[in-house]
Amino acid sequence: MMRIAMWSGPRNLSTAMMYAFGNRPDFAIWDEPFYAPYLAKTGYDHPMAAEIIAAHESDPEKVAERCLDTIPAQKPHFYMKHMPHHMIDGFPTVWAKECVNIHLIRHPARVVASYGAKRDEISLDDIGFHQQAEIYDKLGGIVIDSADIREDPEAMLKKLCAAIGLDWEPAMLAWPAGGRPEDGAWAPHWYGAIHRSTGFAGPEGPLPALERRDASLVAAALPAYEKLAALKLT
């Protein structure tokens, strides 16, 4: 039995990775279980916030218990997609010590450009780079860069599986178009591209040019990204 806690900021191939593991016959998946508790606690005005809180468990202690509870659908393994910035002060993380922790990273210029296309307001806390570095310091684990996955999905996913002691499964490379029943209530706002996809997108192009506000965010996030990038799977 394996429980994977995949830590990733937003706009970072994280849903594609969830779909890849969800397409394996031996994995159940869970989509950002601490998002509703995060919204309920902070009161942040995120897209579809009321719908998210209404649709999902908003007690962080109950969510943490479920992370280590019986795996859904009688599957032997459990993949949980988590966002580091959802783990605000007081939210439990001790459960993650019982998991295989993987840290998915992406260059902050790409994250900021993609996030800004979906939401006008954006702050350093929204994109989670410093929180991800803190989670890594606390839990350790494997680091993998989304750009490397997009460059060669099969090679990188095989390396990832080997690094965590998991058998390779070719079904990870493709999935049916459309949503999954495990998608969070926020999917209508955020998941348009992944719902049209049937596999990983191709290699990324040059870094996007950004205006002053966004460039400042990238500069502030870059040290945390570079810290983890130095530890990434190659």
Determine the pLDDT at residue 37.
98
Q: Which candidate, 146, 120, 40, 139, places its Cα nearest to that of 86? A: 40
Inter-residue contact 148 to 232 (CB < 8 Å): yes
Domain that holds residue 111: 2-229
Number of domains in the chain: 1
Cβ neighbours, 10 Å, residue 128: 24
In degrees rounded to 5, what are phi and psi of residue 201? Answer: -65, 160
Q: What is the pLDDT of residues 132-145, one digit of tens each?
A: 999 999 999 999 99
Instruction: With respect to residue 97, please indicate whether it lies within any of the assigned structural domains.
Output: yes
**Dihedral angle, C-alpha 12, 18, 23, 24, nearest 10 °:** 120
Determine the pLDDT at residue 206.
94
Determine the pLDDT at residue 116.
73
Instruction: With respect to residue 142, please indicate whether it lies within any of the assigned structural domains.
Output: yes
Instruction: With respect to residue 88, please indicate whether it lies within any of the assigned structural domains.
Output: yes
Instruction: With respect to residue 234, please indicate whether it lies within any of the assigned structural domains.
Output: no
pLDDT of 212 strictly over 90: no
Determine the pLDDT at residue 210.
85
The whole-angstrom distance between residue 187's C-alpha and the CA centroid of its chain comes to 14
Identify the sign of the CA torsion 127, 34, 171, 169: positive
pLDDT of 75 strictly over 80: yes
Arithmetic mean of pLDDT, 193-211: 93
Q: Which of 10-19, 109-118, 166-175 has the lowest mean pLDDT?
A: 109-118
Residue with tokens 């994995």: 27
**CATH code (residue 110):** 3.40.50.300
Arithmetic mean of pLDDT, 6-26: 96
Q: Which candidate, 96, 82, 4, places its Cα nearest to that of 38? A: 82
Instruction: With respect to residue 175, please indicate whether it lies within any of the assigned structural domains.
Output: yes
Instruction: Say how far apart CA 189 and CA 150 lie, in whole Å.
Output: 23
Determine the pLDDT at residue 209.
87
Return the DSSP state at 86: G
**Which residues face 81 on adjacent strands?**
6, 31
Residues 6 or more apart in contact with residue 81 via CB below 8 angstroms: 6, 8, 14, 15, 17, 18, 29, 30, 31, 32
Instruction: With respect to residue 40, please indicate whether it lies within any of the assigned structural domains.
Output: yes
Determine the pLDDT at residue 130.
97
Q: What is the pLDDT of residues 89-128, one digit of tens each?
A: 999 999 999 999 999 999 999 999 888 777 777 889 989 9
pLDDT band of 226, cuts 50, 70, 90? very high
The three-state secondary structure class of 121 is coil
Instruction: Give the tokens for residue 73.
Output: 């659908």
pLDDT > 70: what percent of the chain?
100
Inter-residue contact 55 to 78 (CB < 8 Å): no
